[in-house]
Amino acid sequence: MPVTTIDGHEIHVDDEGFMTVYDEWDETVGKSLAAAIGVEMTDEHWGPIRFLRQDFKSESVTPTLRRVSTVGGFDTKKLFELFPKKPAKKMAYIAGLPKPHGCV
């Protein structure tokens, strides 16, 4: 697994840059990851990101967009506004979680 440095933190990432070690993340790292993909974090952005972190801790799987909406209670349309084009992938990236996988 490659290791990269974000804001002075050494983090493990996969080939596509998604973090692979849960505990290497904190919100400072999250903010830097967001900036790297052109997302400026606001309070509204942190809500779903914190849900992703909490859900991954109990389920060990990056939640799907549907789960963020039905279990986390976040409006899907809003998620597309906050994390344009590919919210599921962008949220996972910023939250320091593995890329959501297809089911095949």
Partner 1 sequence: MRNLVILGGGTAGTITANKLRKKLPKSEWTVTVVDRDDAHRYQPGYLFLPFGMYQPDDVTKSRREYISDDIPLVYGDIDRVDPEAQTVTLMDGAVLPYDQLVIATGVTPRPDQTPGMDDEGSWYTDVFDFYTYEGATRLAEKLRTWQGGKLVVQVVEMPIKCPVAPLEFSFLAEAFFTERGLRDKVDITYVTPLSSAFTKPICSERFGHLLEDRGITLEPDFMIERVDTDSKALVSFDEREIPYDLLVTIPLNMGADYIARSGLGNELNLVPVDKHTLLSKKYDTIFALGDANDIPASKAGSVAHFEIEVFVENFLQHIAGRAMTGAFDGHANCFIETGYGKAMLIDFNYDVEPLPGRFPVAGVGPMSLLKETRLNHMGKLAFRWAYWNVLMPGRPMPISAEMSMAGKHMPADKVPVS
- Give me the active site residues, please: 103
- The pair of structure tokens assigned to 95 is 């939250």
Q: Is 1 in the site for partner 1 (CB under 8 A)?
A: no
Cα gap 38→82, rounded to integer Å: 11
CB 98 within 8 A of CB 14: yes
Which DSSP category does 22 fall into? G
CA atoms within 13 A on the CB side of 54: 10
Which of 1, 5, 42, 85 is the binder for partner 1 (CB under 8 A)?
A: 85
Minimum gap (Å) between residue 73 Cβ and partner 1:
12
> Nearest-5° angle of CA 23, CA 95, CA 60?
60
Of 5-13, 24-32, 79-87, 90-98, which segment contacts partner 1 by CB under 8 A?
A: 79-87
Contacts to partner 1 from residues 40-59, by CB under 8 A: 59
Minimum gap (Å) between residue 57 Cβ and partner 1:
15
Interface residue list for partner 1 (CB under 8 A): 59, 64-67, 70-71, 76-77, 79-80, 84-86, 101-104
